[in-house]
């Protein structure tokens, strides 16, 4: 998904290196066409039935310094939805960029959880994974502080 996101930037005027990357991507897709997802009732040990992994790069786009958020939601360890997109605001820190990604992922987890419940599947509470301790700490705090107030006010959905 990240590769498609990056290549789509050059869809109006692709250069030779972009066509090479597109061909490589298509070869990969052709080579993995017969791969399948297997959903089992037990899942892997210690694995939540519904889980989300959120991540972001920080200010990676040199043109506008906006970060890219992404997430993958899994059901019994298999990816069922994923997303990658440039953030609409310029994050002031890695923690803020990661918190924005967590915010989007939590919304998808909640929607997916409701959908699965509506079709009769009852499960444990979804789990959100993130590799930034600062963003995780902010999501668990009950009170605002001066350094993170702007993040919490804008993205308090997590």
Give me the long-range contacts of 32-40 (CB less than 8 A, separation at least 24).
Answer: 37/78, 37/79, 38/78, 39/75, 39/76, 39/78, 40/76
Q: State the residue for tokens 């298999």.
A: 78
- The domain covering 47-158 belongs, at the CATH homologous superfamily level, to Ribonuclease H-like superfamily/Ribonuclease H (3.30.420.10)
Q: How many CB atoms lie within 10 A of CB 43?
A: 16
Domain residue limits, the chain = 1-36, 47-158
pLDDT at 147: 66
Q: How many CB atoms lie within 10 A of CB 146?
A: 6
Counting every residue written for the chain, the total comes to 158
pLDDT by residue for the chain (158 residues), tens digit each? 678 878 888 888 899 999 999 999 999 999 999 998 777 665 555 455 899 999 999 988 778 999 999 999 999 888 999 999 998 889 888 888 898 899 899 999 999 999 988 988 878 889 999 987 777 776 776 566 666 666 666 666 55
pLDDT at 150: 63
Q: How far is CA 157 from CA 20, 48, 92, in A?
A: 41, 21, 19
């Amino acid at each position: 998904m990240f590769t498609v996101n990056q290549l789509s930037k050059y869809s109006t005027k692709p250069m030779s290196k972009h066509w090479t990357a597109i061909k490589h991507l298509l070869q990969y897709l052709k080579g993995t066409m017969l791969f399948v997802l297997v959903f089992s009732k037990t899942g892997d040990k210690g694995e939540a039935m519904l889980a989300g992994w959120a991540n972001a790069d920080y200010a990676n786009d040199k043109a506008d310094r906006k970060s890219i958020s992404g997430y993958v939601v899994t059901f019994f360890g298999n990816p069922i939805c994923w997303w990658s997109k440039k953030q609409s605001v310029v994050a002031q820190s890695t923690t803020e960029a990661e918190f924005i990604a967590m915010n989007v992922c939590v919304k998808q987890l909640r929607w997916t959880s409701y959908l699965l419940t509506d079709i009769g599947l009852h499960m444990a509470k979804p789990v959100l994974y993130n590799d930034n301790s600062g963003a995780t700490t902010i999501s668990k705090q009950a009170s605002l502080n001066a350094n993170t107030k702007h993040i919490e006010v804008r993205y308090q959905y997590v």
